[in-house]
Amino acid sequence: MQRLNAEVICIGTELLLGEILNSNAQYLAQQLASLGIPHFYQTVVGDNPERIQKALAIATGRANLIITTGGLGPTPDDLTTETIADFFDAPLVERSEIWERICEMYAQVGRQITANNRKQALLPQGAEVLPNPIGSAPGMIWQPHRDLTILTFPGVPSELYPMWQQTAIPFLQSQGWVKETFHSKVLLYWGIPESALAERVHHLFESKNPTVAPYANYGQARLRITARATTQAEAEALIAPVEAEIRQLTGADCYGVDEDTLASVVGKYLQKHNQTLAVAESCTGGGLGQMLTDVSGSSAYFLGGVISYSNDVKANLLNVSRADLAKYGAVSAIVAEQMALGVQSQIQSDWGISITGIAGPNGGSDEKPVGLVYIGIAAPDRSVVAIEHRFSPSRGRNWLRNVSACSALDHLRRRFVMIGKVTA
């Protein structure tokens, strides 16, 4: 067949109304790029059969791999499968294996099956099921004629991703359509702005293979190293020396790679030192504990904590001095220190971390503005420190709560890095 050339059609009126961000388009674009499959157009169209068919007519005229997202659900405005079948004048056939799985899934969670679900079991004659390990709506792999392949996916990203990884990629490889692979490694940073990071490594931005590119995500700087090669091993061999040079240049500011999180890295240090952690949270209200427990297996080192949102809880459960609360206020270095020591002794953990601050939008003053945050760290030797942060309030409450929790984890991480240097 002619050279492979993919096109993405995202189907959903909610996209045209701007109700959701089209993250699927970015994911599929990244995936196609990493597989070296050219991809020249993306189209977004609503849940309208006539317009979906017009989009199909255009796409099939310029691409031979059509990937659709959305419109596979059980509701009346989910029309993708029947519209595609109609476009190619193919009859719809019910697939018993799909219907049985839908019934199974609904039974599992005790949900009532409705007439609407039945149409999710229909696929065009000759199409293969593209299994959905998460949800009830499967996609399809269909070659309506020799020079055209259509892959359909639901619009829910958490369903699309595993379907792409588990079935679509192996299918594309089995067709011999994936030759070169692009392999990337992302170095993760906390506590250094993207511009300062770029300054340190800018000489690498000219490199062609691997390429090095900086980018920032939620105020977190990253460096992506991307190598092009015929095998992953070859790509990794190209990346290794560049990664080593970057790590040399950026030192402790780099906390991890790829899927690492500040919480998972802190967890590794705690396990390595066979130590435990407890948290005392005021303005983050549980967000730090949630970050730590996002890591499966965190119960090995995370014991728990106290959400001391009110001053009574700070005093009663964490033994914070009521006199100090009155004199210095709940958002102060001394209260952060007492919270960290308090949760450490209450929960009998090796480390205690505390966060107290003003997340806003209200509650700020000239002396204590929104964005003022104190992080307390009580160490195994019962020594305690408090670090003051004055974050910009401009990004709002949720951002402030998130950077406060991340900064607390980063301070603990850097303590372990220092310990490593001392003992090394």
Q: Which of residues 80-119 bind a second copy (CB under 8 A)?
A: 105, 108-112, 114-117
Crossing angle of helices 194-201 and 232-250, rounded to 10°: 110
Crossing angle of helices 49-62 and 80-87, rounded to 10°: 60
**Binds a second copy by CB under 8 A, chosen from 55, 130, 229, 235:** 55
With helix as H, strand as E and coil as C, how does 230-275 read? CCHHHHHHHHHHHHHHHHHHHHHHEEEECCCCHHHHHHHHHHHCCC
* Cβ 179 to a second copy shortest distance, Å: 18
The SS3 call for residue 72 is coil
| Residue with Cβ nearer a second copy (114 or 165) | 114
**Which part of the chain contacts a second copy (CB under 8 A), choosing from 139-147, 207-215, 238-246, 249-257?**
207-215
**Binds a second copy by CB under 8 A, chosen from 4, 22, 264, 400:** 22
- Amino acid identity, position 143: Q
Q: Does 129 bind a second copy (CB under 8 A)?
A: no
| Residue with Cβ nearer a second copy (53 or 143) | 53
| Residue with Cβ nearer a second copy (63 or 142) | 63
Radius of gyration (C-alpha) of the chain in whole angstroms: 27
**Spatial strand order in the sheet of 220-229:** 211-217, 220-229, 181-189, 254-257
Q: Does 58 bind a second copy (CB under 8 A)?
A: yes
Q: Does 232 bind a second copy (CB under 8 A)?
A: no
**Binds a second copy by CB under 8 A, chosen from 2, 96, 174, 362:** 362
Determine how many CB atoms are found less than 10 A away from the CB of residue 130. Answer: 22
Q: Which long-range contacts (CB under 8 A, 24 or more apart) does 403-406 make?
A: 403/219, 404/283, 404/284, 404/287, 404/288, 404/355, 404/357, 404/359, 404/373, 404/375, 405/284, 405/287, 405/288, 405/291, 405/355, 406/190, 406/220, 406/262, 406/291
The SS3 call for residue 39 is strand
**Binds a second copy by CB under 8 A, chosen from 125, 173, 195, 230:** 195
| Residue with Cβ nearer a second copy (275 or 346) | 346
* Cβ 135 to a second copy shortest distance, Å: 8
**Binds a second copy by CB under 8 A, chosen from 124, 139, 144, 214:** 214
Site for a second copy in 166-185 (CB under 8 A): 184
Distance CA(214)–CA(52), nearest Å, equals: 38
Q: Does 125 bind a second copy (CB under 8 A)?
A: no
* Cβ 281 to a second copy shortest distance, Å: 7
**Binds a second copy by CB under 8 A, chosen from 392, 418, 419, 420:** 392
**Which part of the chain contacts a second copy (CB under 8 A), choosing from 144-152, 246-254, 374-382, 387-395?**
387-395
* Cβ 233 to a second copy shortest distance, Å: 21
How many residues touch a second copy (CB under 8 A)? Answer: 115
Q: Does 248 bind a second copy (CB under 8 A)?
A: no
Q: Evaluate the CA torsion angle 317, 321, 323, 324 in order and state its sign.
A: negative
Backbone angles phi, psi at 200, to 5 degrees: -70, -25
* Cβ 424 to a second copy shortest distance, Å: 29
Backbone angles phi, psi at 299, to 5 degrees: -65, -15
Alpha-carbon torsion, ordered 176, 178, 180, 181, to 10 deg: -140
Give the residue among 175, 192, 226, 204 at the shortest CA–CA distance from 65. Answer: 175
The SS3 call for residue 341 is helix
Q: Does 251 bind a second copy (CB under 8 A)?
A: no
**Which part of the chain contacts a second copy (CB under 8 A), choosing from 89-97, 232-240, 332-340, 396-404?**
396-404
**Binds a second copy by CB under 8 A, chosen from 2, 3, 19, 323:** 19
| Residue with Cβ nearer a second copy (99 or 309) | 309
**Binds a second copy by CB under 8 A, chosen from 2, 89, 146, 158:** 158
**Which part of the chain contacts a second copy (CB under 8 A), choosing from 45-53, 140-148, 319-327, 350-358?**
45-53
